[in-house]
């Protein structure tokens, strides 16, 4: 990764047989001036326990040498405020990657500063995630793997994945909504992605199409750690 660069990988997955889900993110930031930094995030949800999501984030001076993040595997550990999280997950999937930015020339343009790809838009996640003494066995959870890179992160963003739509279990939706900052001004929301239905991909959104976005949160959201400088 070059100086002035930003890169992150994440995997999100849910158990089709129980109210459990996970979200893990590995992030690196190499400023033009100053030292590189990295952060590992882990969020684990088990609604059957009646508790709020367990969230652990740790910031490092450099990307941990034993951590792995990519289209096929995630492994690492993080500690925060006395809590410790560990994970080792493998990802399988036969779907071709999805690059939601359209037109594709945006991947070569200076804006948006963040480029993105769903390396595995719909796959299966297997392995283990442990937070403190709670161990979650992950076996065939439906999930997605995302990759961001560029010179900085979007000012505001939402990455949505949905799958297993009842009578269409092979159907999936991958949608990214973002606002970018140009000087002191924020752009309007833009939505881009695709719906896979019957094996065919239907492009959604794109430049010039203005989605209606409600950015409010219903209920009591989990308390996530404050991002460190260079992270969002």
Share of the chain above pLDDT 90, in %: 51
Q: Answer yes or no: are the C-beta atoms of 80 and 57 closer than 8 Å.
A: yes
Q: Answer yes or no: are the C-beta atoms of 99 and 107 closer than 8 Å.
A: yes
Q: How many domains does the chain have?
A: 1
Residue 217: inside a domain: no
What is the domain-level CATH number for residue 132? 2.40.370
Residue 225: inside a domain: no
* Distance, CA of 2 to CA of 7 (rounded, Å): 10
Q: Answer yes or no: are the C-beta atoms of 37 and 61 closer than 8 Å.
A: yes
Q: Consecutive 10-residue runs of the chain (232 residues): their mean pLDDT?
A: 80 93 93 85 89 91 94 97 96 91 86 89 96 94 94 79 86 88 81 91 81 62 39 34
Residue 193: inside a domain: yes
Q: Answer yes or no: are the C-beta atoms of 152 and 6 closer than 8 Å.
A: yes
* Distance, CA of 111 to CA of 181 (rounded, Å): 10
Give the range of the structural domain holding residue 146, as residue numbers without chain letter.
5-205
Residue 154: inside a domain: yes
Residue 32: inside a domain: yes
Residue 210: inside a domain: no
| Segment 173-189, tens digit of pLDDT | 999 888 877 778 888 88
Residue 91: inside a domain: yes
pTM: 0.84
Residue 119: inside a domain: yes
């Amino acid at each position: 990764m070059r100086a002035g660069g930003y890169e992150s990988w994440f995997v999100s997955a849910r158990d089709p047989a129980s109210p459990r889900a996970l979200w893990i993110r590995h992030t690196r930031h190499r400023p033009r001036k100053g030292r590189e930094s990295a952060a590992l995030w882990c969020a684990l949800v088990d609604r059957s326990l009646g508790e709020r999501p367990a969230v652990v984030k740790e910031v490092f001076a450099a990307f941990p040498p034993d951590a792995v993040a990519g289209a096929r595997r995630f492994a690492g550990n993080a500690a925060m405020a006395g809590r410790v999280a560990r994970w080792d997950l493998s990802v399988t999937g036969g779907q071709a990657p999805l690059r939601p930015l359209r037109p594709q020339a945006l991947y070569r343009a200076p804006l948006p500063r963040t480029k993105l790809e769903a390396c595995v838009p719909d796959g299966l996640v297997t392995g283990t995630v442990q937070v403190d003494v709670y161990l979650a066995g992950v076996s065939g959870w439906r999930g997605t793997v995302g990759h961001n890179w560029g010179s900085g992160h979007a000012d505001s963003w939402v990455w949505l994945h949905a799958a297993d739509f009842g009578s269409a279990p092979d159907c999936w939706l991958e949608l990214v909504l973002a606002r970018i900052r140009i000087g002191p001004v924020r752009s309007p929301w833009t939505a881009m992605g695709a719906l896979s239905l019957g094996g065919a991909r239907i492009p959604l959104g794109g430049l010039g199409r203005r989605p209606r976005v409600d950015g409010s949160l219903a209920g009591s959201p989990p308390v996530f750690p404050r991002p460190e400088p260079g992270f969002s």
